Structure 1
């Protein structure tokens, strides 16, 4: 496939990549991936993703954000609180010149994470606060919306957010259309090729509003195998197949979409 890719949502600072990051980066470049938009989940990750952007300048484009679920990779995953956000707030300002977006932020109303109204309300407070920060810094947002697509898009619109990526979007088509009308973009990882409902969404969302992502190390073609940014080619091929268009057109359009959505990428990787 000709052209080059932007992975619009991955976790290159995840511990799963600690031991062989050099090899992962080498395979990423060989697959034609030119920019990794790398998100965080917790405040403890912020320094690591900034450090990686210095080690791999022009490749790693950092995003900082507090995810609606905390404790990833542990037995104690739980809904986010304002206390999780507090240590992050000064870091958004400190690294404002380095980051290309605020993310990964959003809502996760999966019942075992947020069984009570109070937890859902606190998630929304953390989300709104980070949307305010994104407006203050004039940055787009990289958004998670599991079991909460309608509420997530409602809050984005209510807060006047113009530039948002709804990553691994799995909401209803009618909700996706609300996001489209607001000008938002949608991205899909390699795992979507196993999901027929997602094919209907991909068919209906115009290519001009689609970006490519891997969400690596999660959401690869095999859930038991670590996903890597090189697998972005699988997302591209699947979208091309569903839409009945050449993969080259998907590469070209999704890369242009990424550069529109994240304007600071033009300085970083081109």
Structure 2
């Protein structure tokens, strides 16, 4: 496919991050990333490297309303970036991270409904019961948890309303998030799932997917998940710029290949089989995604 159909190019593109040539034209999906983040000073170069690595669609997920606006702009310019709009359970505060508030829901709901035909999923939404997050507010922790559940529930409802899946964050709240999804009849992806394998399997049995990031190379928990979850319920993500193969080093969508390679190693399968199945899984879940050629 011509470069100008993948990203906006005024002159012939020069790929400065060269990747090995391959005999096969792979098609992988990065099911969770944050390409609007300040770390990506050269979006075009990042996407060129991803395309060279075989990535054909990147689900660009928001955390705040401001992120969502950036995502919509980027999707117009770079078709490889597939927009997902949602409100993260952790929001920036005056003195660090804090739990989301109920009065922050209306703006994202309005934006979602205004762009309901454009988005491929609702997210990043979910729950985060980490102690440091709950400590960032004067509201009692139990009340914060209930507010998070209401905010998440509202996003599950709008996802069902417009007919798209959810892209879910569930740090230290895995089984609560899974139960709310089941109760709402929502399907989607559990990103960076840190809960028990049993809770992940419960989600899988109810039609959800579990994503594996490049950090699987250094995460015993992700390795355990990759081994336990059937391949037909796994997909790949990077969570760029986070969750890279090396701790503290910026992650990029091209590294989705590393996640694929490690899942193949864990399951004793070929790279090609894992690539094909995870892509098929993602396309079945995120039916609005249109990979670039």
Coarse TM-score class (shorter-chain normalised) = over 0.9
Q: Deviations over 1:6-63 (max 9, x none)?
A: 000001111221x211111111111110000110000011121111111012x11100
Tell me by how many angstroms 1:223 deviates: 2.4
Structural RMSD (CA): 1.4
> What is the rounded CA distance, in whole Å, between the counterparts of 1:201 and 1:222 in structure 2?
19
- SS of the residue corresponding to residue 211 of structure 1 reads strand
- SS of the residue corresponding to residue 265 of structure 1 reads coil
2:37 equivalent to 1:14: yes
- SS of the residue corresponding to residue 77 of structure 1 reads strand
> What is the rounded CA distance, in whole Å, between the counterparts of 1:177 and 1:232 in structure 2?
23
Kept in 2: contact 1:53–1:62 (CA 8 A): yes
> What is the rounded CA distance, in whole Å, between the counterparts of 1:143 and 1:56 in structure 2?
24
**TM (normalized to structure 1)?**
0.95
1:70 corresponds in structure 2 to 91
1:86 corresponds in structure 2 to 106
> What is the rounded CA distance, in whole Å, between the counterparts of 1:197 and 1:212 in structure 2?
16
2:218 equivalent to 1:197: no
**TM (normalized to structure 2)?**
0.87
Name structure 2 gaps, 5 residues minimum: 1-21, 136-140
Kept in 2: contact 1:63–1:100 (CA 8 A): yes
Kept in 2: contact 1:208–1:257 (CA 8 A): yes
1:177 corresponds in structure 2 to 201
2:184 equivalent to 1:159: yes
> What is the rounded CA distance, in whole Å, between the counterparts of 1:195 and 1:263 in structure 2?
30
> What is the rounded CA distance, in whole Å, between the counterparts of 1:207 and 1:36 in structure 2?
20
1:236 corresponds in structure 2 to 260
1:221 corresponds in structure 2 to 245
The range that moved more, 192-201 or 229-238, is 192-201
Kept in 2: contact 1:240–1:246 (CA 8 A): yes
1:56 corresponds in structure 2 to 78
Kept in 2: contact 1:7–1:232 (CA 8 A): yes
Q: Deviations over 1:201-227 (max 9, x none)?
A: 211100000000000011101222111
Q: Give the greater-gyration-radius structure (CA).
A: 2
2:18 corresponds in structure 1 to none
> What is the rounded CA distance, in whole Å, between the counterparts of 1:197 and 1:14 in structure 2?
26
Name structure 1 gaps, 5 residues minimum: none
2:129 corresponds in structure 1 to 109
2:119 equivalent to 1:95: no
> What is the rounded CA distance, in whole Å, between the counterparts of 1:90 and 1:200 in structure 2?
39
1:4 corresponds in structure 2 to 27
The range that moved more, 188-197 or 38-47, is 188-197
Kept in 2: contact 1:164–1:261 (CA 8 A): yes
Kept in 2: contact 1:43–1:85 (CA 8 A): no
Tell me by how many angstroms 1:75 deviates: 5.2
2:68 equivalent to 1:43: no
**Corresponding pairs, count:** 265
> What is the rounded CA distance, in whole Å, between the counterparts of 1:94 and 1:182 in structure 2?
30
> What is the rounded CA distance, in whole Å, between the counterparts of 1:189 and 1:173 in structure 2?
16
